[in-house]
Amino acid sequence: MTSSTVPTKEGKGKVLVVDDAPDTLEIIQKLLRYEGYDVTVASTGEEGLKKVEEEKPDVVLMDINLPGIDGAEALKQIRMINPQQGVVMLTAFATVENAIYALKEGAFDFLKKPFENEHLIHTVNQCLEQYKTLREKENLEEEVRRLSITDDLTGLYNHRHFFKTLEAELVRLTRQKTSLS
């Protein structure tokens, strides 16, 4: 799919659209680019999975009925790659069973084609916000872990961490009947 001359707003995030219908890909791509998203497309489940690993999109819009690996199986594999990945499932053949299955497997939402443009944009915006919030939470938790074992001034491990590590080593040495040297 070629770049279009549709004007774009400030970049919001990366969206991967996976659908085997070229018209749907083009419509969604133009719509999201106009809204300021960096959009990548794929037409098969395999291609979509490859792009998820390589390009690390913020949001994935994926059709359920795809050639090869279908959207439901691709969703499972995306969850193994990145459990926090924002995925919105699309289908022209919506059933309650499909919707329940997709949501149980971790999809953010489930949209029936044809969709209202505003609804699609709103769903992508909400999915992106949730994804960013989860990433921020993960970063803050890592920062708290780091701060809990290091000294603020020097950046070196603090006494608590040192003694905790020493205690663990002494237990290991006792268990293995070796000496500390």
State pLDDT tens for residues 77-121: 999 988 889 999 998 887 788 778 888 888 899 888 888 999 999
Q: What is the distance between the alpha carbons of residues 169 and 162, in angstroms, rounded to a whole number?
A: 11
Q: How far is CA 20 from CA 41, 70, 92, 121, 137, in A?
A: 10, 10, 12, 20, 35
Q: What is the distance between the alpha carbons of residues 71 and 156, in angstroms, rounded to a whole number?
A: 47
List, for residues 15-27, the tens digit of each pLDDT value.
Answer: 999 999 999 999 9
Whole-model pTM: value is 0.74
Position 141 pLDDT exceeds 60: yes
Position 60 pLDDT exceeds 60: yes
